[in-house]
Structure 1
Amino acid sequence: MSKAKLLKIYVGEATKHDGKNVVQQIIKILKENKIAGVTVSRGIMGYGADGIIHGTKLLELSADLPLIIDVVDSEENIQKVLPKVLEVLPKGLCFTLDVDVHFYGTKAK
């Protein structure tokens, strides 16, 4: 077991910074900084500080669904990349938690 940090970001999938998709910018920043791993999950419904409910409707072709970005790495690496992530995040929620990593990688066969 090892200690690590979980960086969690909640943002709308249509959120932009300088005309570009924020999630794609964040993923690029994380990759360029050699962060161990990241997962982006799509929520089916939610709301944030603006109080606007975002969700899908049966015949709706596009929606600003909530996305959750989970990032796990050492505290040092998370603290290094966090200012860069916050620079491109115009709205949403971003926080960190201490986590215990019990397994990471691939088991040998």
Structure 2
Amino acid sequence: MTLPSGKAKMLKIYVGETEKFGNKSLYHAILLKLKENGLAGVTVSRGVESYGAANRIRTTRILDLSADLPMIIEAVDTSETIDRVLPFISEMVKKGLIITFDVDVIKQG
């Protein structure tokens, strides 16, 4: 699906890379759920350093190697589409952060 230029909404989800949903990684299960629901596109990125609610620093630096770095899932689509998938995503994410915000699509493709 191609988004027209103009107003859209971004969905951004932060979860730990070791979090599971059934027998899959949570971030992969979220990607599959968003694809199944027809979102225009989704990107999953791995954070290199972070801290969150527990205030514990996680890093990729070799001396402090962490096995539970953040995974960031980003999707941009219409407000209606993002709002439609939010209940599914909220149910899947037991521990993490889910945010949305309005964006302007300048160019796609």
* TM-score above 0.5, yes or no: yes
Structure 1 partner of 2:69? 65
Amino acid at match of 1:38: V
Deviation sequence 1:49-98 (CA, Å, 0-9, x none): 12222122427887111111111000000000111111110111111000
Question: How far has the Cα of 1:104 moved from its partner?
Answer: 1.4
Cα distance in 1, alignment partners of residues 70 and 59 from structure 2: 8
Instruction: Report the RMSD for the aligned CA atoms in angstroms.
Output: 1.8
Aligned residues: 105
List gaps (5 residues or longer) in structure 1.
Answer: none
Q: Which residue of 2 aligns with 1:93?
A: 97
Match for 2:17: what amino acid?
E
1:12 matched to 2:16? The reply is yes
1:30 matched to 2:30: no
> So what's the TM-score if we normalise by structure 1?
0.86
Q: Secondary structure in 2 aligned to 1:50?
A: coil
2:56 pairs with 1:49: no
Aligned-partner SS, 1:8: strand
Shift of 1:20: 3.1
Q: 1:73 to 1:83 in 2, by over 3 A?
A: same
**Secondary structure of 1:103's partner?**
coil
- Aligned residue for 2:84? 80
Distance 2:82 2:32 in 1: 15
Q: SS of the residue aligned with 2:45?
A: strand
**3-state SS, counterpart of residue 62 of structure 2:** coil
Unaligned 5+ runs, structure 2: none
CA–CA distance in structure 2, aligned partners of residues 67 and 40 of structure 1: 7
Percentage of pairs with the same residue: 53
Tell me the TM-score normalized by structure 2: 0.86
